[in-house]
Amino acid sequence: TTIAMAAGMVPSAMALGVGGEFRAPMAVAVIAGLIVSTLLSLVFVPAVFLLMDSLSRLLGRLLGRFVGARDEPGATHPPAAPAAG
């Protein structure tokens, strides 16, 4: 969708047609905004998620002994003792 929108704005950015010089700056700003937002969503956001995941794992290892044991998924627990009765 970004490529289609940017391609559709190219004639306006090149100031073609009557009044094109009035619309050209807006078209250039729209194209630049589309490119920047696409790069941010495809590169920057996943990189931040990876950093936060690594940081949480590091903090988990460093501070985990203060919190206590954590139940791991799929861990088996001993059966509960039958109630006296």
Q: List b or e across 7-38, with b for residues whose CB sees 16 or more CB atoms inside 10 angstroms.
A: eebeebbeeeeeeeeebbeebbebbeebeeee
* Average pLDDT of the residues in 24-38: 93
- pTM, 2 dp: 0.58
Q: What is the pLDDT of residue 64?
A: 79
Residue 61, exposed/middle/buried by CB under 10 A (0-12, 13-18, 19+)?
A: exposed
Q: What is the pLDDT of residue 66?
A: 76
- pLDDT digit string, tens, across residues 47-77: 999 999 999 999 888 887 777 665 666 666 6
Q: Do 23 and 15 contact (CB within 8 A), yes or no?
A: yes
